[in-house]
Amino acid sequence: MQVLILHGLNSDSKDNWFPWLKKELEAKGITVYCPDLPNNTLPNQVKWLEKINQTIEVNRDLVIVGHSLGTIAALRFLENLKDQKKIIATILVAGFTQSFGVKIILDFFKTPFNWDKIRRNSKRFTVISSDNDPYLPISEGQKLAENLNADFIIEKNAGHIDIESGFNKYELILELVLKSV
């Protein structure tokens, strides 16, 4: 089994709960990739997808975990996969479906999502949102879950589910990844 962890805007592989999750999964013999996506303060969709494609060779035993803008990178990655490469599961934390007019991420929303193709390329989806995320209304997580026919989990008082909200480890993600096997 392989796990690909994708960080978001103004973040990197050493931020939030990512290093903890990587260490926990590797201790169980799972191969984990958590690339530093280029220019995380002024992201570019093409460059992020190039880095992801250079980092991992996709096979059917892959689980993708994305956080914040990393969820959008995960969706665009799935949208561009060859159909025969269907992965095990996709877990999206603090995800969303629109740019909210934030100029530095508009590049990721130039084209509408191909939800049918995205759904075809992952066997299972889970979307996790917080009821008090300072950046994203819970309705965004609900809309994302609906578009993906995903399981939808609401965390209580979890903020953006990041280090600022006290998440330097995240047991739920570990459980969800291990259940995907």
Mean pLDDT of 39-59: 94
The position carrying tokens 């201790």 is 27
Phi and psi at residue 89, to the nearest 5°: -160, 155
Give the CATH number for residue 61: 3.40.50.1820
Question: Count of residues for the chain?
Answer: 181
Decide if pLDDT at 28 tops 80: yes
Decide if pLDDT at 168 tops 80: yes
Predicted pLDDT at 97: 96
Domain with 39, as residue range(s), is 2-179
> pLDDT, tens digit, for every residue of 129-165?
999 999 999 999 999 999 999 999 999 999 999 999 9
Task: Output the six-digit token pair for 35.
Answer: 């690339």
DSSP, collapsed to helix, strand or coil, labels residue 19 as: helix
- What sign does the CA torsion over 39, 42, 45, 47 have? negative
Q: Is 31 left (phi over 0), alpha (psi -120 to 50) or beta?
A: beta
Tell me the whole-structure pTM to 2 decimals: 0.97
Q: How many domains does the chain have?
A: 1
> pLDDT, tens digit, for every residue of 64-116?
999 999 999 999 999 998 766 789 999 999 999 999 989 999 999 999 999 99
Buried b (16+ CB within 10 A) or exposed e, 6-39: bbbbebebebbbbebbbebbeeeebebbbbebee
Task: Output the six-digit token pair for 17.
Answer: 């709960």
Predicted pLDDT at 49: 97
For residues 30 and 9, give the distance between their C-alpha atoms in angstroms, rounded to a whole number.
26
Predicted pLDDT at 181: 75
The position carrying tokens 């931020």 is 15
